[in-house]
Amino acid sequence: MADGVNVEKGAEAAVRGDDPRAHVISEKPAPPKGEAKTGAAAQRVVDPDYLLLDAPRTKEFITGSEAAKEAIRRANVDIAIAYPITPQSETMQQVGYLYAEGYIKDYYRGEEEIGVMSAVAGASRAGVRTLTATAGPGLMRGIESIVSWPGGRLPSLLLVMCRVVNAPLAIQPDNVEISYLLNAGGIVLHGENQQDFYDYPLVGFMVGEKPEVTLPVAVAVDGFFVTHARGWVSMPAEDIKLPPRNCYHEAVPMMDNENPPIRIARDAPIQKSNFISYQMHASWQQEVWAAQERAKKWLDRWLGGLLEIVNPGAKTMIVASGAAVSQGREAVRQGTEQGLDVGLVKVKSLRPFPVDELKAALAHAEKIVVPEFNYVGWLAKEVKFVVDRAERVIDGPRVFGGMTMPTELILETITAFK
């Protein structure tokens, strides 16, 4: 989703003389005479392709939290529910401003994360577009409910601003918490920078609400590096927004008490396993992971591929996600200056994991280096599992507990392993 490409597409449309309003699906009624439409009231619903790919963009130098706010402004969100925790608090504070400005219909602070994530489940089951965000220990507290969302086929957006979760407790960057999300069944995207923290949430809503997908989407970023630092973010005008959630066209019936089949159901929509067959439970789980697979088509369309590849033919390939990608980019630049043959694969989507794409991108590589901001090396494990000749994968470098990752560390790793 390079901004240059998008701007060019918009310019091409202008040259062709296309009607720029052709993308408009609907707009709010005109205000009473003499009153100009502003802010939320002035927003028009547009086709997702237009908002995500084609609309002309301008750049702003903003923090990741502000970038997420601008995404939510254009996301046509019905309800946002969260409980504050560093480094997520600032983002949800920004989202609170959107509620005050009329961009979000409802917004409240839950009592704690189990309550928040349960409320998100209820809101999503009721058919509305739902947003929440958390970080570190908050994710751990809410995860009992979070892992139930995919099986419930509950589309929603979970922003995860990663931080330390283990003792000694700290608020510093560390993304081990993502490993807990990888087996939950939902879609997991990992943003590199402020631009991704603008783009991925919008894509997440649209992909998760596709009828054949109908899954929650988590957009994770590395706390502070992305949330609190500024970067250039390319965005379309704020007077357009995504179409609303169409809950009558999803994989399960939403909780509409006026319409069947819920109207006629006495029982909970999902039963405990002792009231359904083991085979149904097994088939149900298969279907959740199959839905992830179906998401690839839409992620490919709106993220411009599940991977980004720099120097595709290089002998040494760095594979990274999140903030480690930025460090990888700089390592590629410095390494090339030093005469190293090094390239980079950015993994945008962790679930669904781009198995075939990664195999193809790394087929030629002699060495594969996986820098990570956590101790356990969850991405290295994923990469080793899917590539042929896994001995090519060098475990690291890794930093954790709030440390930064000097690019020299990546270059030393590349040169140390022959």
Partner 1 sequence: MERGKEPTYRVVPGPEGLLPPAATVMGVALPEEGEGLVEGRIVSETEALEQAAIAMLTRKNATLFPGPLMLWGWNEHTNQKADAFFEMAKEIPGVRIIPMPDYRPIYPKIDPEAVINPCHPNLTIWHNKIEACVFIGVHCHYANITLKMVRAGTNCYTIALCAEAGHEDAMASVPNFDIDKIDRFRDALIRVKKNGVKPLYEGKGIVPTGWAQISKLPGEALSKPEGELVQAGATPGFSHELESGLDDTAE
What 8-state DSSP symbol labels residue 275?
G
Per-position x/- string for 125-164, each x denoting binding to partner 1 as judged by CB under 8 A, each - no binding: ----------------------------x-----------
Residue 252 interacts with partner 1 (CB under 8 A): yes or no: yes
Q: How far is the CB of 137 from partner 1 (least distance, A)?
A: 32
Q: Which residues contact 317 (CB under 8 A, 6 or more apart)?
A: 342, 343, 344, 345, 361, 362, 365, 367, 368, 369
d(CA 32, CA 35): 6
Q: How far is CA 245 from the centre of its chain?
A: 17
Residue 284 CB neighbour total at 10 angstroms: 14
When the beta carbons of 78 and 250 are compared against partner 1, the nearer one is 250
Q: Does 2 bind partner 1 (CB under 8 A)?
A: no
The nearer residue to partner 1, 183 or 416, going by C-beta atoms, is: 183
Q: Which is nearer to partner 1, 170 or 386 (CB)?
A: 386
The span of 20-28, 222-230, 275-283, 410-418 binding partner 1 (CB under 8 A) equals: 275-283
User: Closest distance between partner 1 and the C-beta of residue 132, in Å?
Assistant: 22
Residue 267 sits in the site that holds partner 1 (CB under 8 A):
yes
When binding is defined by CB under 8 A, the residue of 167, 279, 416, 418 that contacts partner 1 is: 279
Residues in the chain: 418
x/- site string to partner 1, residues 327 to 366, per CB under 8 A? Answer: -----------------------------x----------
Of 280, 363, 390, 403, which one interacts with partner 1 (CB under 8 A)?
A: 280
Segment lying near partner 1 (by CB under 8 A), choices 80-88, 109-117, 166-174, 291-299: 291-299
Cis peptide before 201 (omega within 30 of 0): no
Among residues 30, 100, 167, 264, the one that binds partner 1 under rule CB under 8 A: 264
Task: Work out which of 211, 229, 312, 338 binds partner 1, going by CB under 8 A.
Answer: 211
Report yes or no: 271 and 284 within 8 Å, Cβ to Cβ. no
Greatest alpha-carbon pair distance for the chain in Å reads 74
Q: Work out which of 26, 58, 93, 283 binds partner 1, going by CB under 8 A.
A: 283
SS3 category, 162? strand
User: Which ranges of 58-167 would DSSP assign to H, the alpha helix?
Assistant: 64-73, 89-100, 113-125, 137-146, 149-152
Q: How far is the CB of 196 from partner 1 (least distance, A)?
A: 24
Please tell me the distance from the alpha carbon of residue 232 to that of residue 51, in angstroms, as a whole number. 18
Among 132, 134, 194, 214, binds partner 1 (CB under 8 A): 214
Of the candidate residues 261, 337, 391, 418, the single one contacting partner 1 (CB under 8 A): 261
**Cβ atoms of 68 and 191 closer than 8 Å:** no
164 vs 188, beta carbon nearer partner 1: 188
**Are 84 and 92 spatial neighbours (Cβ–Cβ below 8 Å)?**
yes
Number of residues that bind partner 1 (CB under 8 A): 39
Measured from the CB atom, the residue of 188 and 254 that comes closer to partner 1 is 254
Which CB atom, from 246 or from 338, has the smaller least distance to partner 1?
246
CB nearer partner 1, residue 285 or residue 415: 285
Q: Between 140 and 386, whose beta carbon lies closer to partner 1?
A: 386
In the structure encoding, which two tokens stand for residue 311, read together? 């120097």
Given a contact cutoff of 8 angstroms between Cβ atoms, the answer to whether 321 and 288 are in contact is: no
Q: In angstroms, what is the minimal distance from the CB of 396 to partner 1?
A: 31
Q: Where are the beta strands (DSSP E) in 94-243?
A: 106-109, 130-134, 157-162, 187-190, 217-222, 230-236, 240-241
Residue 257 binds to partner 1 (criterion: CB under 8 A): no
Contact 266, 174 (CB under 8 A): no
239: helix, strand or coil = coil
Please tell me the distance from the alpha carbon of residue 63 to that of residue 93, in angstroms, as a whole number. Answer: 13
Backbone dihedral angles phi then psi of residue 394, each to the nearest 5 degrees = -90, 125
What residues line the site for partner 1 (CB under 8 A)? 153, 210-212, 214, 249-253, 259-261, 264-267, 269, 271, 273-280, 282-284, 286-287, 289-290, 293-294, 296-297, 356
